[in-house]
Each structure stands twice: as C-alpha cells, then as structure tokens.
Structure 1
Amino acid sequence: MQHGSTGSRGAWAASLRRSVRLLGEFRYEQPDPERFYTALAADSVGQLSSYLDLAGCTVLDVGGGPGYFRDAFEAAGATYWALDADVGELAGTGAIATGTVVGDGMNLPFADGAVDLCYSSNVLEHVREPWRMADEMLRVTRPGGLAFISYTVWFGPWGGHETAPWHYLGGRRARRRYLARHGHEPKNRYGESLFAVTVRDGLAWARRQHAGEVVDVLPRYHPRWARWLVRVPVLRELLTWNLVIVVRRK
C-alpha cells in the first residue's frame, strides 16, 4: 500500500515538473519560437503516446507552419504531413519540406479517413470558423484514429497573444494599443488572424459533434491531475492557458 502511495506521489511530482518546464519554455514563444515549439513537439509526442502508438501512423498537422513538429513525430515512427494556408509560415525555417501542403484548414484537401492522427496545436484561435476546422479534422481521420485539437483560450493569460493582458479590455482595444505603442500592427491581429475562442466553445462543440467519441478534455500545460479545472465555469476560462480536446473517430 505504501509502495502505491509512493508511486502516486512520484507521478504527481513528475506531472508538476512537466508543467513547470512547459510554462518556462512558453516565455520563448515570441523571441525564440523554434525553442518553444521544439519543446512543445516533444511533449506532444509523449502526450499522444498515451492514446495511440505513433509508429506507422500517418499524421496530418493542421496549421503546422514551418514544421517544428516534424522531427519529433518522425522520430516516433510516424509519417508526417504539414498543412498551412500561409506559404510564408511554411518557409519559416528555410526551404519548404517534403510532405508539406498549402491549403485551408476549414476545407482540408484530403480524402475522408485519410490519416490516423489529425493534429492541430495553437491554430484554432487563428481561424475565423474554428469549429468548421474541427469538423474537417474529424472528417479526414480514419475510423479508430484520433483528432487532437489544442488551442489558446481567449480569457486565459495569453489569450491576446502579444497584446496580452490588454485583451481583457477587448481585442480591438488591445490591438489599437499595440499599434500606438509599437508603431506597427501585432502579428496576431484581433478580428483578422486572432479570434476569441473559449473553453465553453470547445466543450459545446465536443458535445454536439457526432463523428467521434470524446476521449479526453484537459488543460494542456497543467498537470494531468488538474483536468477537473475544465468542469468549473468562469475559473476554467481564466486559468486554462490552452485547452486540449481528443476525439476518437467512430
């Protein structure tokens, strides 16, 4: 009995260390995106491995940008495809890699059931019709495969991205303030390339979609034992930096 208790404490501590490490890397998201997204990719592979064996999987990374996640997924034995609507983003690390597709996340250029895992990280808040994109992700996932959807929550500390924390006073006001202060628009422009997406929105979509079975809903950067947070209205919006929804295709 004592051994089990010790093991539980060890798992609790390991989960807490993971969260502290990820949040520590988060401060590099703007000044050193390669560092942050490489760390996030390694963490994502570890997280996904608890749901499925990535070896031999075909993975579609929707909004994959320059492909920071490619090395981590391929090292796990997956075949990796990245899709982005912005050619500039795709070429962000140099030449555009093989297995890269230019396309629209709300109208994915893939057949029904084409991939084993459809993955999207920190993209949904940049899409004008986020839940249409979520539906598309399920469409291209094969029966038994997974859709992993992760997005930045609007009312969380980083909801306004580089305009945070002024987004709490309104996205447009935060955008105007940024322009006045820096002399140029933020990269993530509220109403154009940044939209308010909440935990409540994600839970509502998870309930109304019928294409898959919801496997998990949790705050991504928190310890796994903090998943209770998504069940608490208001608090979940303020303390969930990033929400993960995992759905297994029927």
Structure 2
Amino acid sequence: MRRSVSLFRAFGKEQTEPAVFYGALANDSADQLEGYIGLDRAAMLDVGGGPGYFRRVFEDRGATYFALDADVGELSGLGDISPRTVIGSGMELPFGDGTFDLCYSSNVLEHVPDPWRMADEMVRVTKPGGTTFISYTVWYGPWGGHETAPWHFLGGRRARERYRRRHGREPKNKYGESLFPVTVKAGLDWAARQRRAEVLDVIPRYNPRFTYWLVKVPLVRELLTWNLVIVLRRR
C-alpha cells in the first residue's frame, strides 16, 4: 500500500515536476523488473525512452541501456541525446529478432495508432528466455485522457476540444493523433493470442497487491486500473 501511495503522490507532479514523477517511476520499474530478470549486464531496449530519466536508473543497476523514440524533442529534453539512442518507430523496431535480454516500455503504447503491432515487435526483438515488459495507461481509468481527464469519459475528441477552448492551445497528448484508447480487455486479448512468449503476469501497475484480482472482473477493471502491466518471457 505504501508503494502505491508514494507513486500516486509522484504522479500528481508529472506535469509540474517531471523529474520527480519519472524518477520515482523509473526506480519502481527497476525494482519490479528485478523480480523477473537480473539487470546487471542485461542488454535492454526502452521503447519510447524519452529524455533519459529511466536511462540513469537502469544504468546504475548495471544494464546496457538502448533507447528508441520517434520524437527527437523528447529525447533531447534533458540536454544532449545520449549514446545508444535510436530514432525510429515502436511499430517497426529497427533491430533483428532476439537482440535484447529485456525489451521495456512504459506509458507509450497508448500513444501509437497500432499498439499491438508495437507489442508484437517488442516480443520479436527479445531474446529467447528474455523478458518483455509492457506498461500502458488504460483509457477508461482515471487518467486515460491524460491532461484532458476526466472529460475523456465523454469522448476523446470532446475532451480535446474542451481543453483547447479552456487553455487556448492543444493538449500535448492529442486524441486521435498522439493519444489512443487502449483498454485492459485489449491487452488481455493480445496476451492470449500471441504465441511467441509465455505470459508471466498481467497486473494493475499502481494498485496495491491486494487489488490485483481487478484484472479478472470486466468493466470494473477498466475503471479502477490506472495502468496495466503485461510481463512476458520469450520462448
């Protein structure tokens, strides 16, 4: 419970103090991952790596960190673009099959128009026996519309237009362009139909452990899951 409270507090600073939020999330991610794979000497790819908050944490734990992002502006958010950084699409990863011990993505899947193609690509570039970790914001959860929440419950386009009228500018995450509705059910369906990897866990990321049963309950899981994690081991 303490972990969940700490993450929610950090989450409230995503827009105003991104270093606080993403630093806390990166440390929590590394802790979670070490339950599935040793990070020391692991070659890992962070799909949608952004400006580098996650790089620092994973490299401190011994990983050889590669980042991919489609947005040069995001990658250079903390200054110069770091080594082992690739500009490209998560839906067409420019790497061969079985390249990485760990393929990781946090809060990116909802920003691509074909999320399950990206998920397939992440599994493809993971080595046999390696780990794929996919985390995304659930559309019908409290933060599904990102900065347009909670108005996304009335429709993504309506929420986007309301934000534009209220603030005099478009939101960073534009529904239909850089933000798409991705559900818990869609994640469960993809995990069940893909054949390249064993599914190790499907859990609500920010929720306390005693609520993990949520993912088994239709409708409830969509409303009370902020973020879903799918963890797989490549066959």
What TM-score do the two structures reach when normalised by structure 2? 0.99
Q: Select the structure of larger CA radius of gyration.
A: 1
Q: Secondary structure at the match of 1:30?
A: coil
2:193 to 183, 208, 218: 208
Question: Aligned letter for 1:80?
Answer: Y
Q: Distance in 1 between matches of 2:210 and 2:197?
A: 24
2:127 to 136, 142, 150: 142
* 1:1-250 aligned within 5 A: 16-250=1-235
Question: Aligned letter for 2:112?
Answer: V
Q: Secondary structure at the match of 2:53?
A: coil
- CA offsets 1:121-147 (integer angstroms, 9 cap, x no match): 000000000000000000000000010
Question: Aligned letter for 2:107?
Answer: N
Segments of structure 1 that go 5 or more residues without pairing to the other structure are: 1-15
- CA offsets 1:48-68 (integer angstroms, 9 cap, x no match): 011111111001000011111
Q: Distance in 2 between matches of 1:151 and 1:33?
A: 17
Deviation at 1:46, TM superposition (A): 0.4
Q: Distance in 1 between matches of 2:183 and 2:15?
A: 22
Q: Distance in 1 between matches of 2:43 and 2:210?
A: 30
Q: Distance in 2 between matches of 1:181 and 1:221?
A: 30
Question: Aligned letter for 2:10?
Answer: E
Deviation at 1:175, TM superposition (A): 0.3
Matched residue count: 235
Q: Distance in 2 between matches of 1:147 and 1:225?
A: 24
Q: Distance in 2 between matches of 1:74 and 1:232?
A: 38
Overall identity of the aligned pairs, in %: 69
Q: Secondary structure at the match of 2:139?
A: coil
Deviation at 1:226, TM superposition (A): 1.8
Match of 1:10? none
Q: Distance in 2 between matches of 1:67 and 1:248?
A: 25
Deviation at 1:219, TM superposition (A): 0.3
Segments of structure 2 that go 5 or more residues without pairing to the other structure are: none
Q: Secondary structure at the match of 2:203?
A: strand
Deviation at 1:225, TM superposition (A): 2.8
Question: Aligned letter for 2:196?
Answer: A
Q: Distance in 1 between matches of 2:139 and 2:19?
A: 23
What TM-score do the two structures reach when normalised by structure 1? 0.93
Deviation at 1:227, TM superposition (A): 1.2
